[in-house]
Structure 1
Amino acid sequence: MKKWAVAAAAVLLLFSGCSKKETVNGSVKGDKNENKVIEEEPKQEESYYFPLTGVQSETKTDGRAVAVMINNHPKARPQSGLNKADIVYEILAEGDITRFMAVFQSEKPTNIGPVRSARDYYIELAKGFKALYIAHGYSPEAQKMLNNNYVDNLNGMVYDGTLFKRSTTRQAPHNSYITYENILKGVELKHYKMDQTPPAFTFMKPEDTDKITGTDAKSVMIHYSNSGISNSIIEFDQTSKKYKRFSGGEQTVDMETNEPILLDNIFIVEAEHQVIDSAGHRDINLQSGGKAYLLQMGKVNELNWENRNGRIIPVKDGKEVPFVPGKTWVNVVPTDPGMAKSVSFRNN
């Protein structure tokens, strides 16, 4: 019996040792698995770019553009808000006076103006951006388009004294202003939507801007009239790599901040102009395309312009030419007298 007892004890010890060994081995294996660090691939941050400037942003860049008609009469200078515009269109209204359509999307100015009346060709440009259109007054053709809701709009003829305010330091019609806050109040009042992001222009990479080739052109004079009331000179500043604009011998700046308008692209296009009534209203052909100049980084290139889905774009050999990231100014000049007499370059 003693022998059997000893044998049984030995067997129990053997099984006990195996069990402990398996437990230890199992725990070791488990520890290795538990302590193993799983390396996750770093998440790539999404890049956002403003559609009308090509400038990168850390946050989303969607949202509707707002296009505002701005007065360029000498009594309306300096204007408010132009320094915040992504792109500005300068076109003749009546006589030899030009008018601006400033398009805002990446920046929202506090105060904008003086606001001036609508024209049909500006309305067409605003529609190409899916923009909310702001004006104070209208030509007969523009009035028909706005009354038919061709574009969402707010007009000072309806909201003078409410959304639009009159400055006491200037005389009408050079004293109508609207704040961006009041634009949003108008949006709410009219039940408009502000989520219609405009289609993006094509932009070159920032590192490619130093590779731009072309003819040297440090300044350009744009001639709209013999009186010189709307003529402007645009000069390239080598230090800032930006263009400065001058009108009537004075630099174009913001009235509130005195901040200069600094530009990255000067796009000059030639289009047919025709006076259509005794008031001097014009029909301007912004559909058929034509000759153009594009100034970037102190260089100028002759190319063409086309209207693609309501937007005027620079084109060469059928391909869209990219803009330098930043702000753009578009000058539309008449085919008569044409580019040769309307535009002159200097390299000093």
Structure 2
Amino acid sequence: MTVALLAATATAALAAGCTDQHGPAQDGRGRTQAPRQPEQIVSGTPVLAVKIDNSPAARPQTGLDSADVVYAEQVEGGLSRLMAVYASTLPRAVGPVRSARESDLELLRQFHNPTLAFSGAQHKLLPLINSAPLQAEPPEKASGAYFRGTGRPAPHNLFLRPARLMPSPPGTKALTTGFRYGAAPAGGRPENTRTIRFPAAGFTFTWSAGLHRYLVAMDGSPTMTADGKRVAPATVVVQYVQVRQSAFHDRLGNNTPYTETVGSGKAQLLRDGRVYDVNWQRRKATDGTQFTTKDGRPVNFAKGQVWVLLTKAPR
């Protein structure tokens, strides 16, 4: 994808918007709030998790700034895909929506009966999705919740209306990830910019003291939403994991990577313009992911949106 084509795609999307019979689809304007503590598993309305296209042709995305948590994972060809988790706010539209992967099923087990919105999956994976402890909502099951936007070609133009899947946000009590929020840990070291590279994708987070947030850039370009908002999380987690081959392949024969999120390992936490070396642990799939200092103390995140980059452990 050339820079010129990427710019043209972004310009077209900003000009045309993601339109349906109700007019332009815009992101929610509410601020994210801190989830409740990990021990408080709740029943009732689940979180909404949406698989979001992150190829250059899919940008700028819609509704990304309203997510409480954004996971970035590696997919075929070394590219990246996002999973956005919504609890405190449901934006008017989210997308472009793309397909699910086997890794998503393990990752989502740390939420209580989540709703998963995705464009589809290869037929051998569908039975696993249908038997997983989640509410699967692809277009063929919830056609009224999806629409095709204007200004870009398929498959980068499928969008979700979250309100068609749940009448109101479930609230932050539904976030059962194990994350903690509060004062920063002791120590750390100053670091204003961090770049994380997948084989064929790059993410850069630059600390803005004025906004008290990290400005996101992907593949060297600022990450904006379709209505012109800059995506800016309060906390960034670089979680080093094992990425192995799965039993699945794409249409071109490329193996689908499987990202292991149960286990333990190292991570780095970025908040308040500092970086902290921490450990992560998730003993079983139904547990939240716990982050601790080297002496075993729980680590707090800053209040606001959290990005988690699931990337290969360094050798």
1:225-275 Cα distance to aligned partner (Å, 9 max, x none): 2x5xx21111000112110101132211210x2111111111001111112
Q: Which residue of 1 aligns with 2:244?
A: 274
| CA offset digits 1:80-128 (Å, max 9, x no partner) | 0110000100001111111101000011110000001111221222231
Residue 9 of structure 2: aligned partner: none
Q: In the TM superposition, what is the alpha-carbon distance from 1:315 to its structure 2 partner?
A: 1.9
Describe the shift of the 1:50–1:234 C-alpha distance in structure 2 as closer, same or farther (beyond 3 A): closer
173 and 251 in structure 1: CA distance in 2 versus 1, 3 angstrom threshold: same
Alignment of 1:62-141 (within 5 A): 63-130=45-112, 131-140=114-123
Confirm or deny: 8 A CA contact 1:125 1:311 kept in the other structure.
no
- Which of 255, 280, 291 aligns to 1:305? It is 280
Q: In 1, distance between residues paired with 2:297 and 2:123?
A: 37
Instruction: Decide whether the 8 Å contact of 2:74 with 2:259 is kept in 1.
Output: no
- Residues 202 and 320 in structure 1, CA contact (< 8 A), matched pair in contact too: no
Question: Structure 1 vs Structure 2: percent identity of aligned residues?
Answer: 24
The alpha-carbon distance between structure 1 residues 76 and 298, as it changes in their structure 2 partners (threshold 3 A), is same
| Matched residue SS, 1:305 | strand
Tell me the equivalent position of 2:189.
Answer: 215
Indicate the SS of the match to 2:109. helix
Distance 1:177 1:202, change over 3 A: closer
Residues 195-234 of structure 1 deviation map (CA, whole Å, 9 limit, x = unaligned): 98332645444xx45x753111100011112x5xx21111
8 Å Cα contact 2:207/2:273 also seen in 1? yes
CA contact (8 A) 1:294 1:314 kept: no
Aligned to 1:319: 297
Distance 1:293 1:100 in 2: 19
Larger RCO: 1 or 2 (CA < 8 Å, sep 6+): 2
Q: TM-score, structure 1 length as denominator? A: 0.70
Structure number, greater radius of gyration: 1
- CA distance 1:315–1:140, shift in 2 (3 Å): farther
Return the letter of the residue paired with 2:279: N
Q: 1:51 to 1:236 in 2, by over 3 A?
A: closer
Change (3 A) 1:204 1:180: closer
Q: 1:243 aligned to 199, 214, 235, which one?
A: 214
Is the CA contact (8 Å cut-off) linking 1:118 and 1:137 kept in structure 2? yes
Query: Could you tell me the TM-score, scaled by structure 2's length?
Result: 0.77
Cα offsets for 1:264-308 (capped at 9, x unmatched): 111001111112344321222211111110011011011111115
Larger helix fraction of residues? 1
Matched to 1:214, the amino acid is G
> Are 2:235 and 1:265 equivalent residues in the alignment?
yes
Letter of the aligned partner of 1:294 in structure 2? L
Conserved in 1, the CA contact under 8 Å of 2:73 and 2:259? no
What's 2:25 paired with? none
- DSSP 3-state at the match of 2:311: strand
Q: Which of 115, 129, 133 is the matching residue for 1:146?
A: 129
> What SS is found at the alignment partner of 1:128?
coil
Moved more, 94-103 or 245-254: 245-254
TM-aligned CA deviation for residue 180 of structure 1: 1.7
Q: Name the structure 1 match of 2:5.
A: none
Contact 1:50 1:106 (8 Å CA) reproduced: yes
Counterpart in the other structure of 2:6 = none
Distance 2:36 2:230 in 1: 18
Secondary structure of the corresponding residue to residue 125 of structure 1: helix
Distance 1:135 1:147, change over 3 A: same
Number of residue pairs matched? 268
- Whole-angstrom distance in 1 between the partners of 2:258 and 2:297: 28
Alpha-carbon distance change, 293 to 140 in structure 1, aligned in 2, over 3 angstroms: farther
